[in-house]
Amino acid sequence: MLDAIDKTLLKTVADLEELPKGAYNIRKNGKLLSRHVSANINIETNADETGIIVKIKPGTKNESVHIPVILSQAGLYDVVYNSFIIGDDAEVTIVAGCGIHCGTSDPEGHAGIHEFKVGKKAKVTYVEKHYASGDGKGRRTLNPTTKVFLAEGAQANMELTQIAGVDEANRVNEAVLGPDSLLLITERVLTDGDQTAVSTNNIVLSGSGSRANMISRSVMKGNSKQTFYATMDAQNKCFGHIECDAIIMDNGTNETMPSLKAGHPDAELTHEASIGKIANDQLTKLMSLGLTYDQAVNRIIQGFLK
Amino acid sequence: MLELKNLYFTVPESEENSGGSRNIIDGINFTFDDGKFYAITGPNGSGKTSLAKLIMGINPVSKGSIIYDGVDISALTITERAGAGIAYSFQQPARFKGITFRDLLMIATGIDDENKILNILKRVGICPLSFLDKEVDAKLSGGEIKKIELATTIAANPKLAIYDEPDTGIDLWTIGPMVSLLKKELAESKATTIVVSHNRSFLEAADIVIIINSGRIAYSGNLEGAMPLLDDLSVCTYRDSCEGDSDAGCYR
């Protein structure tokens, strides 16, 4: 059922060697490949058959759902709408990811629109990895969108990673935070060659006592270009922070635009942004521990994107 | 053995100071014997750190040579000097994102075995276990990062260890143990130890005190002999211009 390319893609985007334990839904070339539900986690195809609905029962603890997508069919652009309904007090990890293997000169792409409704005091960890490989010259496009709605006291920890090989990415993250909810987003994007990536983030701190922290780490190699927009819109007593760091290597370019909007007198919003080459004192330190210049560069980038 | 032969470090002078060049290290000749503890001291801006960085290869040699174990290392890279057994502890250690103390120890030693890493921590003593998986980033206090810097340098098992102001940011209660640690390491490993410091504890611990002033060695020998010169250098050189007014607002 899984061929060698599938297995490599699955391992890279979902750390899966074989079919996972617990609930999962694996989509290959736009079609359902395999699905498994558990007592607390149900997965069903949505009404217009454009994606899945994952329902997690209230109070579910320490369970996980894997929903990887793999693409290896030339010329296919796969669009999927997935919804996650996380019951009150549940604690769950969702591992998504898309691996593209492009063996021809035809383009391949995937757009995943993921909507999360996180119930009261529920905690969700969402891990998404994007990766493309293959010798083909076809453009590989990955356009993920996440929309997060946090109920009172809910927490979401989003780890979003684009590892390598993606020619074009248009990434969108949106969130609306209810009272006393907490959102942590860490986005890591590595581009090389002539690749481009745009990341647009709109976080609305709607409830009193809500908190959000957005961390972005970008590395531009070759002639690649990344653009980062992040807006924290505070509509209540809340705390928001944006931290965006970009490392330029070779001739990469970057534009970073953090934006803070305070619509309430008790809003506390901060941001820090930096763009630049790897700091010289970091390189010198690692070289003084015995690494060569190139090894030191690799180690610093590896840590930065960890 | 480390020999500095007619060593210069020259930098271009700024335009407003008529251009030209200035010798930060101005023709130093000195021999460091194996297994001895050296303390380098002197006024701010005298060239102490510049000299230490010349030995590690962080500053390029402008003229003269550095001979280490009989080999001219003046043109070697930092990496090659590290490979030859020289280690350097920075006055202001680099801060990273996503690199932990454990990562630095692994890079310095090539060891990833948990028990061996714990043994290194135990040996160094000044870093609690909770440091191990801390990121060496901007969140660490000045004292914490200096302890990590010192521990990483010792863990590399150098034959020649250079510490640039290891006591900066360290609390008073840790300086004593830090001096004892360097002495213990020196006794066990016979590593030549060079400490750049103003701190009396290090000067007292040293076999040889070197005073640098204006890029030259003004004195080398025991602490007792250094005292008159140290007292002399501590006199403010700007006193003539401010004439010692009590309300001059000087915090120098």
In chain B, where are the structural domains located? 2-227
What type of residue sits at position B168? T
The answer on pLDDT for B123 being more than 90 is: no
Distance CA A305, CA A217 (A): 6
Distance CA A149, CA A156 (A): 9
Multiple choice CATH, B2-227, 1.20.140.10, 3.40.50.300, 3.50.50.60, 3.40.50.2300: 3.40.50.300
Sort A129 into a burial class: Cβ within 10 Å, 0-12 / 13-18 / 19+: buried
Q: Mean pLDDT throughout B7-16?
A: 87
B92 Cβ contact list (under 8 Å, min separation 6): A281, B168
Pairing of β B208-213 and β B216-221:
antiparallel
DSSP string over chain B = -EEEEEEEEEEEPPGGGTSSEEEEEEEEEEEEPTT-EEEEE-STTSSHHHHHHHHHTSSPPSEEEEEETTEE-TT--HHHHHHTTEEEE-SS----SS-BHHHHHHHHH----HHHHHHHHHHH-SS-GGGTTSB-STTS-HHHHHHHHHHHHHHT--SEEEEESTTTT--HHHHHHHHHHHHHHHHHH--EEEEE---HHHHHH-SEEEEEETTEEEEEE-HHHHHHHHHHHTS-TTHHHHTT-TTS----
Least confident of A135-139, A142-146, B70-74, B187-191: A135-139
Residues of chain B with pLDDT > 90, as a percent, come to 62
Instruction: Please give the pLDDT value at position A1.
Output: 61
A217 in contact with B, Cβ within 8 Å: yes
B163 in contact with A, Cβ within 8 Å: no
Residue A54 has, within 13 A of its CA and on its CB side, a CA count of: 30
B249 in contact with A, Cβ within 8 Å: no
Hey, are the CB atoms on A302 and B88 less than 8 Å from each other?
no
Distance CA A260, CA A240 (A): 9
Q: How far is CA A51 from CA A31, A79, A114, A142, in A?
A: 10, 8, 10, 16
Distance CA A175, CA B14 (A): 52
SS3 assignment, position A139:
coil
A281 in contact with B, Cβ within 8 Å: yes
Instruction: Please give the pLDDT value at position B252.
Output: 45
Distance CA B124, CA B128 (A): 10
Give A15-66 pLDDT, tens digit per residue: 766 666 679 998 888 888 889 999 999 999 999 888 899 999 999 998 889 9
Interface test with A, best of B58, B79, B80, B146 (most A CBs within 10 A): B79
CB B70 within 8 A of CB B31: no
A269 Cβ contact list (under 8 Å, min separation 6): A232, A234, A239, A240, A241, A260, A261, A262
Distance CA A196, CA A226 (A): 6
Give B219-245 pLDDT, tens digit per residue: 999 999 888 888 777 655 555 666 655
Instruction: Please give the pLDDT value at position B204.
Output: 93
Instruction: Please give the pLDDT value at position A16.
Output: 66
CA A116, A120, A125, A127: dihedral to nearest 10 degrees? 0
Q: What DSSP state is assigned to residue A62?
A: S
Enumerate helices (H) and strands (E) in chain A, giving the number of each.
3, 20
The answer on pLDDT for A74 being more than 80 is: no
Distance CA B225, CA B31 (A): 19
pLDDT band at B248 (very low <50, low <70, confident <90, very high): low
Residues from chain B that touch A282, judged by Cβ atoms under 8 A, are 94-96
Q: What is the pTM of this model?
A: 0.85
Give A98-155 pLDDT, tens digit per residue: 787 777 788 888 888 999 999 999 999 999 888 777 777 778 888 889 999 999 999 9
Task: Choose among A217, A279, A304: nearest Cβ to B94.
Answer: A279
In chain A, where are the structural domains located? 4-279
Write down how long chain A is.
306
Instruction: Please give the pLDDT value at position B15.
Output: 72
Cβ pairs bridging A and B (under 8 Å):
61
Chain B, 47-86: which have a CB under 8 Å from a chain A CB?
56, 58, 77-79, 82-83
CA distance B235 to chain A (A): 34
